[in-house]
Chain A
Amino acid sequence: MDFLPAAAPIVRLIEELNKLPGVGSKTAQRLAYHLIRTSTEDAEALAQAIADIKQQVVFCARCQNITDVDPCAICADARRDQTKVCVVEQPLDILALERTRSYNGLYHVLHGAISPIDGVGPGDLKVQELVERLQNHGVEELILATNPSLQGEATATYVQRQIAGLGLKITRLARGLPSGADLEYADDVTLTRALEGRQEFT
């Protein structure tokens, strides 16, 4: 039996699936064999959807968010406050902030955080695009909304230093205790930041 050549397409599929984040070789194998059993229509729909995101999804030239129209719906919305830009790590962070309905300004997506141990530096993020954007448009306030992690904070400080000369108001999301949390379980950094960000009680 000519077994190995017949298996070659499966091997290739497993290798491709294995490249996806969070997919180990076991999971890749399971997914591949699942796809073999899937109907042709479903498999083709998946293949088409993957092909479409490469052809039809682009980065918004202003905010770098993932979009199918450029500029994206948020950047194109004249009712939004054009003087505020909120800097986030990931497109999903915009969804979280939009859900609050508490923010009406614009965004800028860095597409990651500085992560030296993974070899990710500022050059791999949309930092230069941000600096250029801020030089040209009527932005007055920049809100740094990177994650409150070691790398998120390093990213925020790095961005802040790059734009320090532009004379913008730079703010940062308050970092503190999540609602419903127990004080006794909070780590020292969170407690310190919560103390630093305390507000007058009226």
Chain B
Amino acid sequence: MDQSRFFKSEAIVLKYFPLGEADRVVTLYTPGEGKVRAVARGVRKVKSRLGGHLEPLTRVRVLIVKGKSLDVVSQAETLTSNIALRGDPWRTACGLYLAELVDGFTSENLGNPPVYQLLRQVLETVGRTDDPDRALRRFELQLLRLVGYAPELHHCVECLADLAPASHSFSAAAGGILCPSCRGSDPLGRSLSLNALKVLRLFSSSDLQTAERVRLAPELTLELEHTIRYYLCYLLERELKSTAFLDLLRREREAGERRSGKSEAGVSSRSR
């Protein structure tokens, strides 16, 4: 058989959609070839050997047969199951959000092994931590850097001046920070606190352990999430789909915490 028609790789399942009666088109992220879309035949049948291995957020080893119009998954074997992300809607929602980002910011036939490692690492983190916000923010910033959209966080993107320790403005259109005298150049920019700027800088370059040691007050957590989301949506030129469910779960969790009278105790912001 012609070996070039086969493609063997490790991959993380990003998503799938149904095709015909029993098939699915699966989107995989591979280290060497980036995004790969392939048909998995018969996987919606109960007795499918492939189906259980190709659920979203599973890390698999796949053998793909390259076809003229469609690639077909011929074999799949689980390397890391998604069981830690299952059964808890919050973890599932975080995992699918990360998959949506990778799907949105990467292309087919363009390998980027560090993106693969970053995704693999953050999925493991989401599976074990009860507080994945910092891992998610660090992932977003480092993904942006790896695909060439790192925001400029050290100089004003307009006048190139060093940034004074003050609050600034984040401009998605300009791709970074505007100093107080330049902030008028983008009326759509969002104001950014000094603490948030420091955390953005830290998460852009820190390892995961360092990022997870940073303690964030609830307001700062929200400011970071909203600032980065505003930038992500600007770059993608669309709203992210999976954030609605994440936001709903957060509101429900906060309402539950208020009901049970549990207060956010002793949370302060600390960063470099």
A and B interact physically: yes
- The answer to whether B242 touches A180, judged by C-beta atoms less than 8 angstroms apart, is no
B128 at the interface (CB under 8 A from A): no
- When chains A and B are docked, how far (Å) is the Cα of A192 from the Cα of B84? 12
Bound: A22/B22 CA distance, A: 11
Q: Is B197 an interface residue (CB 8 A)?
A: no
Q: Does B53 contact A (CB under 8 A)?
A: yes
Looking at B78, B87, B92, B93, the one whose CB has the most chain A CB atoms below 10 A away is B92
* Set of chain B residues within 8 Å of A182, measured between Cβ atoms: 49
Instruction: Tell me, yes or no, whether B241 is within 8 Å of chain A by CB.
Output: yes
Chain A residue total in the interface (Cβ 8 A): 29
Q: Does B110 belong to the interface (CB within 8 Å)?
A: no
Contact A116 B241 (CB under 8 A): yes
Task: List chain A residues, Cβ under 8 A from B56.
Answer: 117, 150-151
Tell me the minimal C-beta distance from B69 to chain A in angstroms. Answer: 11
- The CA of A35 and the CA of B136, in the complex, are separated in Å by 51
Number of interface residues of B (CB under 8 A): 35
Q: Are A178 and B99 also in contact (CB < 8 A) when A22-B19, A188-B81, A189-B82 are?
A: no
Contact with B along A42-60 (1 / 0, CB 8 A): 0000000000000000000
CA distance A181 to B51 in the complex (A): 12
Given contacts A122-B248, A153-B87, A188-B81, contact A116 B96 (CB under 8 A): yes
Q: How far is the CA of A153 from the CA of B18 in the complex (A)?
A: 18
Interface of B: prevailing SS: mixed
What's the nearest-Cβ distance from chain A to residue B242, in Å?
A: 4
Q: Is B20 an interface residue (CB 8 A)?
A: yes
Within 8 A of B (CB), among A142-162: 149-151, 153-154, 157-158, 161
Q: Which of A22, A117, A153, A189 contacts B52 (CB 8 A)?
A: A189
**Distance (whole angstroms) from the CB of B88 to the closest CB of chain A:** 6
Given contacts A22-B18, A157-B88, A190-B52, contact A117 B242 (CB under 8 A): yes
Q: Contact residues of A with B, CB < 8 Å?
A: 21-22, 114, 116-119, 121-123, 149-151, 153-154, 157-158, 161, 178, 180-182, 185-190, 192
30 A-B residue pairs with CB within 8 Å: A22-B20, A114-B89, A116-B244, A117-B15, A119-B241, A119-B242, A121-B245, A122-B248, A149-B55, A150-B57, A150-B86, A150-B92, A150-B96, A154-B88, A154-B89, A154-B92, A154-B93, A157-B87, A157-B89, A178-B47, A187-B51, A187-B53, A187-B81, A188-B81, A188-B83, A189-B55, A189-B78, A189-B81, A189-B82, A190-B52
Identify 4 new A-B residue pairs, CB closer than 8 A, beyond the known A116-B93, A151-B56, A157-B89: A114-B89, A117-B56, A119-B241, A154-B89
B residues with CB within 8 A of A: 15, 18-20, 46-47, 49, 51-53, 55-58, 78, 81-83, 85-89, 92-93, 96-97, 99-100, 241-242, 244-246, 248
